[in-house]
Structure 1
Amino acid sequence: MAYGSALSAAEDAPGTRKARGAFFTPPELARFVARWAIRFPDDHVLEPACGEAEFLVAASDCLRSLGCKSAVAERNVVGCEVHEASAEKAVGRLGALGCSANIVVSDFLRLAPDPSFDVVIGNPPYVRFQSLSSDQKDAIGAIAERHGVAVSSLSSLWMPFVLHSVSFLKPGGRLGLVLPAELLTVNYAAPLRSFLMASFSSVRLATFDEPVFPEVQEEVVLLLADGWRAGSCSSITWQQCDDIADLASGKLALYQPPSEGARWSGLFASSDSLSSLGRLTGAGEFVSLSQWGTLSLGAVTGNNSFFVLNQSEFEQWGFASDDVLRLCPPGSRHLRRLAYTEKDEGAAAERGAGVYLFRPGADPSEAAQRYIAYGEELGVQNAYKCRVRSPWWRVPVGGVPDAFVTYMNAYGPSICANDAKVRVLNSCHSLFYHPEISEAARSLLPIASLNSATMFGAEITGRAYGGGMLKLEPREAGMLAVPSPVLVASCADDLRTVAPYVEKLLEKRDYDGAISLVDAVLIPRTSLQEVSFVQMKSSATLMRLRRKKRAKFKKVG
């Protein structure tokens, strides 16, 4: 039996529940949402994916506490549930409370809009789009078109549920939903973030340090939106909670997103830190990394174990020099430095790392032909990335990048100069400087980017990923705030002076120490005081610790 369910595994198998994205909400969370949303005894309440009616039970209790009679509650409380057995349990639960509930057995997304409800509350299903039927995708397309909000194929079912839910609200209505924390950070939710702030007079969020669901470790957020079509809002009321019990604390703060559709990850930073970063970028002292150069993913082989070769394998097969390309070894740990040099390449070869990419030209050598035949015996050509290219053994590669940018980071991103002039795989991003960027500036960006403002900006721009890592896609990395070429040039001599000390600290993985040295060089040349950099460093540290704390709970959950 699943947490919160009255159905046995025989009645509702775990795989079936997972397929429809059903996770049961803790009663105390449902009660909090109901009490926030339901304000009058004659409120009409809808739960779009009611499961076994946790929110409807809370709604019925709330209506009665406000003076609603049973006969009224029967008409006022409506649920929709696609799973018939769960719907039957919902009717039974509410019946035991003296409420003849109106439960509709249907796919909510296929219901015609009915703007007759004062309140919509619930916990939408979490199902990725690739699992949906073509009919469901068509219904989602119609919902997205109706509201003028793009719904990406990268999204999950919760996003169209939010959009369709508002189609059932009266003007001035209230929306209270438990959603994945993806709402705050993912790019595909940007249109929805803009839509919510433009369509409700107030938006309130509650986030949690500890997991909310006993069954899963998905990080969630409460969305409490008030005043449907009664105005718009430019700021968010936010409540950061340790756990569900902390909802009662009522500690609220205001957060104003920097732009329409911008990520809401800035919730976890102090307003002073956000203001300081804004001042740096507003004054042009810090600019986006995309103003330095173009970022792209590294090469994707489809089978690294076949295409990536170490020195011993290169020699054993007897490859010709034009059968391979020199390669930065997979991974990014060895790039937590200021430059990857030919000496580093030699050391990597000695320890057996993959320093070659198998990529013959139009006329492979005999050794390369034997290796291709060997790969076909292994079935390498059947891997997805291999079978969609011709010939399967020629990996698409771009030019030699000027620098590498790490994108999966426990601490924060690193920019590492590619002094060895090697290719790179998709374990990091490639940075190609714009032609107008001087050689002197290029050589100093890796050290100049090791500062509190850039690390803080990374926490705002990126998003927490598995294991508490901070991930930056190429577009997000391009938005990273780094010192401008002018600022770098103004402190070039001092940056070169501290570079050997910074490199030693990086070797020891003392990132805080390295950043403190670079901050000391940059601060006198900016319009900010030292205290502003201290505040940004503190905010970055707190956001980093929050990522790690979440990862800890995911491991033990």
Structure 2
Amino acid sequence: MYKRTPLARYGRKLNKRPLNRKEAGAYYTPPQVASSLLRWALRSERDRLLDPSCGDGQFIAGHPNAVGIEQDPYAARQAMDRAPGALVHEGDFFSWASNTSERFECAAGNPPFIRYQTFKGELRDRALAFCSRLGVRFSGLASSWAPFLVATAALLRRGGRMAFVVPAEIGHAPYSAPLLEYLLANFAVVHIVAIREKLFPELSEDCWLMYAEGHGASTNEIRFTALDAFSEMSAPPRQFQNIPADVWRTTWKRRLRPFLMTSEARLLYQEIVEHRGTHRFGELATIGIGYVTGANDFFHLRPSDAHQWRIPKDFLRPTVRKGASLRGDRLTTAVVDKWRKDDEQVLLLHIPKHERVPRAVERYLDTEAGQLAREAYKCRVREPWYSVPDVQVPDFFLSYMSGVQANLVVNEASCTCSNSVHGVHLKRKGGGATLLESWSTEFVKLSSEIEGHPLGGGMLKLEPREAKEIAIPSKSILQRISKPVVEDALSTLRKWRHYDSA
């Protein structure tokens, strides 16, 4: 049957009929993964086993002395049928965890993965309050699986252990750092096993394995193993890197993903970024998201629409709405002219706050589409509702989601941009040509991979805070860098995000 995967929606109310796999977020977990985790976690028939989100009972079915928690009533009934010897509680795990006096020798499973946008309300409040009492404070961007593991660890007996499938975000997401810090402070051994081949081929999300044992002790290192593919095992791999916690915290900013590269590549990268001739991108420029309209289809007009409504040219700004519009390393007026000729929706209606609104613009604002737009949240909370803020003309555009690499594009056409593209403003004029030349080098591409993060589907994502950390070495340094080492590291990180072609 199925087991909740990291993309399952936790706490979803069911209709009387069983939900299909897409509705329930339920996908088959490879049986060899579940059995591998259980064989390591269980040391005795007397061991009490906990699965905090047991789904249909796959992890608890093989051990009679087990407890599973499941909020989905239909899945809970399946778990009861599948694991008649286990105890299944139907309800919210964090409520149960806050009130139970039970303690466990081991825990295993696959916690639900709900991104912060939908991990909200009372469930989120209970989860974060539980973790806060343990001294673990997650940011507002935390997904659900990390609090699940903290709460589960707190229910273990001294010497207890846990083995879980976890999202690969444990290797790079800032919100995963509090979880790893908690594990380091409360377990004698923490071992992360990265697996490049997808455990769940149907999903874009990559999954790794997390092992921790010796609850009640602590450690100052993380064991880390990188495998191309999963094969059934009765224990974590014997070969691993010992990553000092201080190195993980400082040099690599609480990220494990750089350890997918060779030690030679890491040493080279560290040497280059610490060289006085190397600058971080944020030292050379400010990087931020573009404007947010709140109602894109209303505020972005086609040239034909602007002509029809007789919108004055002074209130229309040519704009880059999405990164896919950017080709090459320059956005020229010729390209924008072609957008206009093709009647694309690339004119932003920009009405400065204190500008008198012409009658033609008023008529457009009072249309049915305008009435709907002013009720959108972003429009409703600003004054006046029709004045889009933060409309700027950057020196460059930077794609924040890309395939082979992030594109840096000179803004020769004096366009503005929406929040689907980053705007880059040079701190010192005149350095654009050098920056653009450096950007095309293999080392800067590698730095983008290291400082950014995989998004799924082979995509690389660069948040503004990540883009600021991209290393830009001087030309003389770039000429001395070992190209084979850099090219191998770049290829490795692209393969791990499933973008295998250069």
Tell me the TM-score range normalised by the shorter chain. Answer: 0.7 to 0.9
**Any conservation in 2 of the 1:53–1:90 contact (CA below 8 Å)?**
yes
Which of 464, 467, 490 aligns to 2:454? It is 464
Q: CA deviation at 1:470?
A: 0.8
TM-score of the pair, normalised by structure 1: 0.77
Q: CA deviation at 1:91?
A: 4.5
1:523 lines up with 2:478 in the alignment:
yes
Write the distance in 2 (CA, Å) between the matches of 1:340 and 1:101. 63
SS at match of 2:181: helix
Q: Which amino acid aligns with 1:322?
A: D
The Cα RMSD (Å) is: 3.3
How many residues get paired?
A: 483
Q: CA deviation at 1:548?
A: 3.5
1:282-301 deviations in whole A, cap 9, x for unaligned?
22333321111221110122
Q: Which amino acid aligns with 1:450?
A: S
SS at match of 1:535: helix
Q: How does 1:114-193 map to 2 (within 5 A)?
A: 114=101, 116-128=103-115, 131=118, 134-193=121-180
Q: CA deviation at 1:245?
A: 4.7
Q: CA deviation at 1:386?
A: 2.5
Q: CA deviation at 1:358?
A: 1.0
Write the distance in 2 (CA, Å) between the matches of 1:217 and 1:476. 22
Q: How does 1:156-235 map to 2 (within 5 A)?
A: 156-213=143-200, 216-235=203-222
Greater Cα offset, 272-281 or 104-113:
104-113
Q: Which amino acid aligns with 2:40?
A: W
Q: CA deviation at 1:458?
A: 1.7
Q: CA deviation at 1:230?
A: 1.8
Q: 2:470 maps to what in 1? A: 480
Write the distance in 2 (CA, Å) between the matches of 1:416 and 1:84. 52
Task: Identify if the C-alpha distance between structure 1 residues 419 and 382 changes in structure 2 by more than 3 Å, giving closer, same or farther.
Answer: same
Write the distance in 1 (CA, Å) between the matches of 2:418 and 2:15. 47
Write the distance in 2 (CA, Å) between the matches of 1:272 and 1:348. 47
Which of 37, 41, 52 aligns to 1:48? It is 52
Write the distance in 2 (CA, Å) between the matches of 1:354 and 1:80. 50
Q: CA deviation at 1:240?
A: 1.6
Write the distance in 1 (CA, Å) between the matches of 2:376 and 2:34. 46
SS at match of 1:178: strand
Which of 335, 340, 351 aligns to 2:326? It is 335
SS at match of 2:385: coil
Q: Which amino acid aligns with 1:401?
A: P
Write the distance in 2 (CA, Å) between the matches of 1:453 and 1:38. 46
Q: 2:294 maps to what in 1? A: 302
Q: CA deviation at 1:89?
A: 4.5
Structure 2: state its 5+ residue gaps. Answer: 5-13
**Any conservation in 2 of the 1:178–1:220 contact (CA below 8 Å)?**
yes
Identity within the alignment, % = 28
Which of 208, 214, 225 aligns to 1:238? It is 225
Task: Identify if the C-alpha distance between structure 1 residues 344 and 457 changes in structure 2 by more than 3 Å, giving closer, same or farther.
Answer: same
Greater Cα offset, 447-456 or 23-32:
23-32
Which of 60, 77, 86 aligns to 1:101? It is 86
Q: CA deviation at 1:131?
A: 4.9
Write the distance in 2 (CA, Å) between the matches of 1:270 and 1:23. 34
**Any conservation in 1 of the 2:397–2:422 contact (CA below 8 Å)?**
yes
Task: Identify if the C-alpha distance between structure 1 residues 351 and 138 changes in structure 2 by more than 3 Å, giving closer, same or farther.
Answer: closer
Task: Identify if the C-alpha distance between structure 1 residues 443 and 348 changes in structure 2 by more than 3 Å, giving closer, same or farther.
Answer: farther
Q: Which amino acid aligns with 2:199?
A: V
Q: CA deviation at 1:204?
A: 1.9
1:219-253 deviations in whole A, cap 9, x for unaligned?
22211112223222333321324245589994744
**Any conservation in 2 of the 1:375–1:381 contact (CA below 8 Å)?**
no
**Any conservation in 2 of the 1:113–1:164 contact (CA below 8 Å)?**
no
Write the distance in 2 (CA, Å) between the matches of 1:346 and 1:432. 24
Which of 534, 544, 547 aligns to 2:497? It is 547
Q: How does 1:59-74 map to 2 (within 5 A)?
A: 60=63
**Any conservation in 2 of the 1:120–1:176 contact (CA below 8 Å)?**
yes
**Rg larger in 1 or in 2?**
1
Q: Which amino acid aligns with 2:92?
A: D
1:136-178 deviations in whole A, cap 9, x for unaligned?
2332132121222222343332221101011112233211111
**Any conservation in 2 of the 1:212–1:244 contact (CA below 8 Å)?**
no
Write the distance in 1 (CA, Å) between the matches of 2:74 and 2:390. 53
Question: Which of the two has greater strand per residue?
Answer: 2
Task: Identify if the C-alpha distance between structure 1 residues 388 and 457 changes in structure 2 by more than 3 Å, giving closer, same or farther.
Answer: same
Task: Identify if the C-alpha distance between structure 1 residues 115 and 264 changes in structure 2 by more than 3 Å, giving closer, same or farther.
Answer: farther
1:81 lines up with 2:70 in the alignment:
yes
1:535 lines up with 2:490 in the alignment:
no
Structure 1: state its 5+ residue gaps. Answer: 61-73, 492-521, 552-557
Task: Identify if the C-alpha distance between structure 1 residues 105 and 379 changes in structure 2 by more than 3 Å, giving closer, same or farther.
Answer: closer
Q: 1:271 maps to what in 2? A: 263
Q: 2:35 maps to what in 1? A: 31
Question: Which of the two has greater helix per residue?
Answer: 1
1:267-308 deviations in whole A, cap 9, x for unaligned?
432222222111111223333211112211101223333322
Task: Identify if the C-alpha distance between structure 1 residues 363 and 202 changes in structure 2 by more than 3 Å, giving closer, same or farther.
Answer: same
**Any conservation in 2 of the 1:239–1:250 contact (CA below 8 Å)?**
no
Task: Identify if the C-alpha distance between structure 1 residues 335 and 251 changes in structure 2 by more than 3 Å, giving closer, same or farther.
Answer: farther
**Any conservation in 2 of the 1:209–1:550 contact (CA below 8 Å)?**
no
Which of 426, 451, 466 aligns to 2:441? It is 451
SS at match of 1:160: helix
Write the distance in 1 (CA, Å) between the matches of 2:336 and 2:40. 60
Q: Which amino acid aligns with 1:535?
A: V
1:73-104 deviations in whole A, cap 9, x for unaligned?
x5x53333334554454454444xxxx43444
Q: 1:349 maps to what in 2? A: 340
1:305-336 deviations in whole A, cap 9, x for unaligned?
332234444444433232223x3332224534
1:389 lines up with 2:339 in the alignment:
no
TM-score of the pair, normalised by structure 2: 0.84
**Any conservation in 2 of the 1:299–1:395 contact (CA below 8 Å)?**
yes
Write the distance in 1 (CA, Å) between the matches of 2:71 and 2:103. 21
Task: Identify if the C-alpha distance between structure 1 residues 386 and 135 changes in structure 2 by more than 3 Å, giving closer, same or farther.
Answer: closer
Q: 1:402 maps to what in 2? A: 395
1:283 lines up with 2:275 in the alignment:
yes
Q: How does 1:243-254 map to 2 (within 5 A)?
A: 243-245=230-232, 250=237, 252-254=239-241
